[in-house]
Every structure is written in structure tokens, then in C-alpha cells.
Amino acid sequence: TVVRLADYRAPAWRITHVALEFELGATSTRVTSTLRLVAQPGQPAPPLRLDGEDLELLDIALDGRTLGPGEYTLDASGLTLTAAPSACELRTTARIHPQRNTRLEGLYLSRGALFTQCEAEGFRRITWFIDRPDVSAVYDVTLIADRARFPVLLSNGDRVAAGELDGGRHFARWHDPHPKPSYLFALVAGDLARLSAPFTTMQGRTVEVNVWADRADVARCEYALGAVLRAMQWDERRFGRAYDLAVFNVVAAQDFTMGAMENKGLNIFNARYILADADTATDDDFIAIESVIGHEYFHNWSGNRVTLRDWFQLSLKEGLTVFRDQEFTADLHSRGLKRIEDARLLRSRQFVEDAGPLSHPVRPPSYREINNFYTATVYEKGAELVRMLHTLLGETGFRRGLDLYFERHDGGAATVEDLVAAMDESSGRDLTQFLHWWEQPGTPRIEAQARFDAVSGEYTLTLRQHGSDPDHPLHIPLALAFYDANGRRIDTHPEVDADYRPGLIELRQREHTLRLRGLTQPPLPAFLQGLSAPVRLDFDYAPEQLARLVQVETDPLTRWQALQQLARTAILPGAQRRVALDALLRAQSILLDDPRADAAFVAACLALPDFWDLGAQLERIDVDALWAAREATLDALAIDQTERLRERHLQLTARAAGGLEGDSASARRLRNLCLARLARVEREGERAVAQYHGANTLTDRLAALQTLLHAGFAQADEVLQDFAARHRGDALVVDRWLGALVTAPRAGTLDTVATIVRGPFWQPTNPNRVRAVLGSFVRSNVPAFHRADGAGYALFFELLPALDSINPQVASRHLALLENWRRLDDGRRRLLDAHFDALQTRLTSRDSRETLARLRGAD
């Protein structure tokens, strides 16, 4: 069945209080729930419908009286009581089976400990409930378990009681004073250890912060603990938001479908976003860990204190919270680099999503399975919409709007309109038109055309928006600058037909014309500084102009963007190709020679656009030709830069060895790019082997290993043996070398993948392992996965049905990686089409069935 935003109705019943008692066991758990229910005032009480899935009913009583079989109806998706009084208390007891729960939704077992994941609709797999985000209640939770197996018992809020019971059992009781929807419920039980630190809030309250993990892993929680404290402090300083309970628990789980979850007072994380030290995490991991920890913590306000009215509003919490975590990283590290990283992700994931059949608005109008909408569009594009509000209102205006939003909706369930209304009212700006951004799918394109009249000295720039609804053009903040021949910014105020601030134009109509007068030469325009809107901008730059933009522009994002565009022109077919390659070679060399340029920035600028980013702009993706063109460009760069790359690799050695501090990480990033690029022109892997043995971080060791594997150097095996032996016991690091192995860009790598999935390293119940092996293979190994003989596809479709019956979300997300299939060349498209046909009857989950239907355009 299809769920539609247009069909939203307020709930017929509310739940004011929930008491849960868990008798926890790995194979079998009893859940007794006591709900205080109130019907909406009005007519006689409507039927009471509660969601429930995979639950065995042991007992049911209404207002203290056990119900007989005729007094309720039970089906596969819930429980109905037709004659419940308008205020009543319902008690149910259910039996559930955590160990059998491979979907990892609801209550499940991971390495002997019990965890929950309830967002979006997992709570109904724990007990019967009105499992929707606009039903909020106060929870009292009692956990009972065997003390030896489950010494630690955690839930939301504060622990109010604990003690011993008979038979070696013990209990803990938790009270969460903040009303919350069921998707924020959580419990954890297991033999865990913690690192702990106090935090004093800006109101002077003391919070106990705990980061929990398997006993063996707790030493690697130090960085995560520090990150929690930084996040708490940052949200106070930047947004005036403080924590609101006496304890904040964060727990690492090795089996976890997504990245992490913001359950009130008890955040549960995929262990890969908690565990870290120099030996087992890369520089990128450290940044990602801090960012995800920040993200979940920031949800305490943007998500928990103010939650969602319905799941269509998902981006209201996710887009806003991604924006907040992006700002957190930008404030603590390099703002320019962070923005480049965001833009890279947006282009390679979200723009690509928009270019295929899975394209949807940031607020989708309908879904079959909400878990399919935790997408790059909802998260990353959603964050860009919030960022545009920030750009339009400025820091102070945005802050005022956000304060009003939190104040108005604290404890409530909000919509996208509520957020925009708060921004609108607090700033006095009319944001009605801006709301269309949440409703329209696709990546808008702005076409910019310039004309220069040498006689009158008038420069005319025409801007047209394409791809938006013709009746509802979008309100687009377009950052803009003009440079003269000396590289100085022209500060003449152009005359425009809309409101205009220097540096920023607000496009509200389909077409705008700007004029600059009194010029002797046409200026060089620069667009979208800081990526002021999630759009494509088409302007017919000559390669020379792009190279000049890299020199004169000061915004790192715009400089990076100019280089990316130069690379795109050099790679894709077109008349300018050769000229663009020459300009790219020169521009990259200048950066490589610049001793003052930040090394990480140089590395970002030297990297070429992702294969799928390039493909997203093509009507037809000739896989072999596009891959060959991108490789040829990389080879040409390597040949041209050989001496410079050698020099830089050597020269950065000392700085790269400096441990985990920021400057060293930056040096490692460039140095490892040099290493990988040099491997294209060197015949053997001595340099990488030497780096591997001399390394003092996982970053450098892994980069060396990956270079050896990907270049196919003879020493790869020996180094791989060493690496594998070193990290055998650590699943997260095993994921890393498996990932390096399966992405070696050669057709023959398919055999490696086939061997892995038929051996002991293939653990289909562990989402991280599936992503490391299959996800990286499908996403990143173009020559092997997209083999013309179809062998790559055959392996993928052989694995998918089993994955689907184990964990539907993981299967569905992997299937969605084929989002480009329609634009692939004929041979590949036909192969995939046949596989889709055959898959039709072999998928069992709603998740994967919906994704398949959307991929095929049936929905």
C-alpha cells in the first residue's frame, strides 16, 4: 500500500504514558507494555488500532480485565479493539526473538549484547503501539536480565532504580521525563564497558557522559568521548542549545544498518563511527566519527525536542541536522575543505540520484516503505535547503528564526512549513516561494549567457532557470562575482530587475538580466561561491577562463569547482577537450608547486570528478569509453607531473609522520595522492612498500596497501598478508582491506570478489561487511562490476535475494546503487533489464520490491 502525504490525519488516539517491562533474553524476550490511552475528544471513541509486527501475543487486558478472543482482532500488522472506552489502560505481553532478528529493526542481538533500532517503524516489532512520530508519551522502562550475561542495562532518560532479583537476575528502571515518539525509544543490555567524563552545561548543570563499547574495544572510545564533549559545547555556543538530562549515553554496536541513531539520551552507533585510534582508523574516519557524533547529538534539539509530524517531513530533522553537523565540522576544522567535501558528496551522490529513476523531492509525496527515503536527497540536498535559508537570512537572522522554531514547537511535532514560517516571521522576509524547494524533484540548472558590447562597454548577463516547475520557479540565492583583467573584483553594482545585494542575486523568476556598464573588456564571472544553491550552472567558459578563475578567485569551493569543470571538459567528448587537458595540466602543476597552498586543498583539487558524477551529465553512458577517458586523463596527469609528485611525496614525509594533528593529516592526504598517481608511471611498488613499513598511522599503511593492490604490483600480496595478520581480529579494519581488495580496478577483480563471498569473510548479517565487500565493489569498481560479459551483474543478482531475506534495508540500498542503469549503453542495459525481470519474484521485502519497481519506472 502507498502512504500519501495528502492523506495525513491527526491520530485518533493519544498515548500519554507508557510503562514497559522487559524480561530480556537473547533467544526470547517478554515485553509487557501498559499504555494509557485517550481518544481525541468528539464523537464516541473510534476503534483503537495499534501497530505490531512479528509479535507473539501472550496476554492482553483492558483496564485490568483480561480480554477473550472475540474482544480484539490480531493480524500481521497489528491489533484492533473496536470497543475501547475513550480513556483506558491497555496491557499487553508479547514474546519476541532478538537472536532471530537479522533485519536489525526492533530488538536484536549483536555480539552477545541486545540493542534496539526503532526509527522509522521498528518499535512495532517490540510491542503494539501507535507507532507514528506525532504520538508522544512519557516512558518508564524496567529492564530485567541475567546479571552475568547482561551486567549493563540502559534505556532513555535517567536511571531511577536498580537492584538484584532471584535466579542471578537483576533489574534497572529508567524514567525519561521528555515525552517522545516511539521511534526514539531505545534499550541496550550487555557486557559493556565505558569511558566517562563530566560536562557542565551553560546553565551550570552537570551531565555524566558515557561512551560504551565491548570490553575489548573501550580503549578506542577516547576520541569519541572527546567528540561528544566538543559537540555539546559547540551547540551551546553556536546555537544556544544545551543538553537536558543528567546522563548522556552513547553505545557502539558492531551490527548496525545505518550510521547511528539519536534515541533520546541513549544514542546507538555503528561501531565504525565510535572506535578509533591511530592504528585502526584513518584520518577520514576521525573526521567522520566526530561529524556523526555531532549529528546524533544535535538531533537532541533538531529531531527530539522538536520532532516530526509524519515521515514525509523526514528532511525537517535530517536536512537541518546535517546542516548543523556540517557547520560543526567547518567551525572546528577547515571551512573551505569541508565545503568542498560537501559539494563533492552532493554531486557524486545526490545529483546522481536526481539523474535517475529514484529521483524524488526532498519531501517525497508518497512512499511504500519509508526506510527507502533515507537518501542523499533527503539528507544532503535537504541540508542545502537549510543552508540557503542561512545564506538568505545571514547568521543572525537564521539564528533568530531557529530560536523561534525551537521555542514554538518544543515538545511538539512539526512540519517543513513550520520551520520556514519561523524563518519567515522572524526575518520579515517572504519565504513562500522558497517552500517549492521541498516539493520539486531534480537538480535545477541555471543557464548563464553573457554578451559584451565593446562600443558601449555594456556587459549583459542573462540567467535562466531550467528544471523547475514552469508554474513555480524556484527562489535561488546565486552568489556571483566579476573579475577584471587584473584579477580584481569589480564592485560596480549591476543594475538588476530583482532585489540585489553585492555578491548575491536572488533569482525568483525564470529569467533575469544583469547589466554592467562602463567596461573596456568583458569581465570574468564566477558563480555559486560556497555553492550557494544545489544547482548546476552552465556557462560557456573557455578552458583558459577556468584556469584563470583558479588563480583569481579566493573562495576555495569555487576554485575547486573550476578545476572540476576543467577536468570534466578534458574527459568528456567535445571540441575543447585537448585545450582543456593542457589547461588542467598547467593549473594542477601550479597548485603542486605552491608551497603556501594547504596540502589537503591541493589534494582535493588534484582529484578528478567521480565516474558517476561525470556520467550524470550524459544522456548515454558508454561505460568503457567513459572509463577509458577518465583513466587516460589520470595517466596524462601522472606523466606530466611525475617529477613534482616524486618531490612532493618525499618532501611531505616528515610532516606526514607527525601523528594525528591536523597539519599532518593534511600532508598525508596529498602525499597519498602523489603515491597513488605515481603508481601509474612507475613499474614497481618500492615506494609504496617503503611507505607501508615506515608508516605510523593506518591512513598511510592503508594508502600504501591500496596503491599496491590497485596498481597490481608484485609486492601487493606480501604486504596484504602482513596487513591482514596485523588486523585479523578487528572486523572494522578487515572491512578496510576487503574494501581495498575488491576495488582494484580490473576485470579480474571479480574473481576475488567471488572468492570472498564464498568464504569465511562473507558475513551477510553484518551490514558493514556487506557494504565493504559488495557496496564498494558495485559503487567503485567500474571495470569489474560493469564487465561487458555480465559476470559482475550475475554475481550481484545471485547474492541479492538472500540478502533481502536477511536485512531488507541493506538489500534495498544495494539494489538502489543501480540507479544509473537506464542510461548505460545498450548491452549493459539489456543485461540489467533481464536480471530485474528475474529478480521480480525473488524479492520478499517491501523495501526491495519498492526499489525495484521505482528503478524500473513502474512507480
Q: Report, as residue numbers or ranges, the catalytic residues.
A: 296
Mask for 302-331, x = binds Zn ion (CB under 5 A): ----------------x--x----------
Nearer to Zn ion, 91 or 324 (CB): 324
CB of 295 to ligand ARG, least distance (A): 6
The binder of 784, among ligand ARG, Zn ion, none, by C-beta within 5 to 8 A per type, is none
Count of residues that interact with Zn ion, criterion CB under 5 A = 2
Q: Using the rule CB under 6 A, which residue among 155, 254, 257, 743 binds ligand ARG?
A: 257
Cβ-contact 218, 253 below 8 angstroms: no
Grid coordinates of 536? 548546476
Report helix, strand or coil for 321.
helix
Q: Using the rule CB under 6 A, which residue among 318, 353, 369, 682 binds ligand ARG?
A: 318
Residue in the block written with cell 509525496: 365
Residue in the block written with cell 509524519: 310
Cβ-contact 767, 808 below 8 angstroms: no
Nearest residue to 294 (alpha-carbon basis) of 224, 219, 345, 385: 224
Residues 109-168 that bind ligand ARG (CB under 6 A): 119-120
Nearer to ligand ARG, 142 or 371 (CB): 371
Nearer to Zn ion, 316 or 562 (CB): 316
Nearer to ligand ARG, 176 or 318 (CB): 318
The binder of 192, among ligand ARG, Zn ion, none, by C-beta within 5 to 8 A per type, is none
The binder of 257, among ligand ARG, Zn ion, none, by C-beta within 5 to 8 A per type, is ligand ARG
Cβ-contact 784, 777 below 8 angstroms: yes
The binder of 283, among Zn ion, ligand ARG, none, by C-beta within 5 to 8 A per type, is none
Grid coordinates of 833? 533489464
Tell me the β-bridge partners of 65.
Answer: 62
Query: Is 675 near ligand ARG (CB under 6 A)?
Result: no
271-275-281-283 Cα dihedral, nearest 10 degrees: 100
Q: How far apart are CA 569 and CA 822, in angstroms?
A: 24
- What letter would DSSP give residue 538? E
Query: Is 326 near ligand ARG (CB under 6 A)?
Result: no
Count of residues that interact with ligand ARG, criterion CB under 6 A = 13
Tell me the Ramachandran region of residue 712: left when phi exceeds 0, alpha when psi lies from -120 to 50, beta otherwise: left
Nearer to ligand ARG, 235 or 506 (CB): 235
The binder of 258, among ligand ARG, Zn ion, none, by C-beta within 5 to 8 A per type, is ligand ARG
Residue in the block written with cell 591500496: 706
CB of 379 to Zn ion, least distance (A): 7
Residues 296-315 that bind ligand ARG (CB under 6 A): 296
Q: How many residues does the chain have?
A: 859
Q: Using the rule CB under 6 A, which residue among 282, 371, 565, 768 binds ligand ARG?
A: 371
Tell me the β-bridge partners of 219.
Answer: none
Nearest residue to 171 (alpha-carbon basis) of 197, 156, 151: 151
Helix axes 686-694, 698-711, angle to 10 degrees: 160
Cβ-contact 319, 362 below 8 angstroms: yes
Query: Is 187 near ligand ARG (CB under 6 A)?
Result: no
CB of 370 to ligand ARG, least distance (A): 7
Grid coordinates of 425? 516571521
CB of 700 to Zn ion, least distance (A): 32
The binder of 374, among ligand ARG, Zn ion, none, by C-beta within 5 to 8 A per type, is ligand ARG
Nearer to ligand ARG, 302 or 697 (CB): 302
The binder of 666, among ligand ARG, Zn ion, none, by C-beta within 5 to 8 A per type, is none
Query: Terminal CA-to-CA distance of the chain, rounded, Å?
Result: 12
> Counting runs of H as helices and runs of E as strands, what totals does the chain give?
28, 33
The binder of 119, among Zn ion, ligand ARG, none, by C-beta within 5 to 8 A per type, is ligand ARG
Stretch that binds ligand ARG, among 65-73, 125-133, 255-263, 695-703 (CB under 6 A): 255-263
What separation in angstroms does the CA of 117 have from each of 50, 104, 106, 257, 731?
19, 7, 5, 9, 21
Q: Are strands 13-23 and 136-146 parallel, antiparallel or unpaired?
A: parallel
Cβ-contact 589, 640 below 8 angstroms: yes
The full DSSP string for 61-98 is EETTEEPPGGG-EEETTEEEESS--SEEEEEEEEEE-G
Nearer to ligand ARG, 267 or 282 (CB): 267
Q: Answer whether the bond into residue 61 is a cis peptide, omega within 30°.
A: no
Stretch that binds ligand ARG, among 15-23, 41-49, 260-268, 361-369 (CB under 6 A): 260-268
Nearer to ligand ARG, 101 or 465 (CB): 101
Query: Is 260 near ligand ARG (CB under 6 A)?
Result: yes
Query: Is 708 near ligand ARG (CB under 6 A)?
Result: no
Nearer to Zn ion, 318 or 735 (CB): 318
Query: Is 735 near ligand ARG (CB under 6 A)?
Result: no
Query: Is 262 near ligand ARG (CB under 6 A)?
Result: yes
Binding-site ranges for ligand ARG (CB under 6 A):
119-120, 257-258, 260-262, 295-296, 318, 371, 374, 809
Binding-site ranges for Zn ion (CB under 5 A):
318, 321
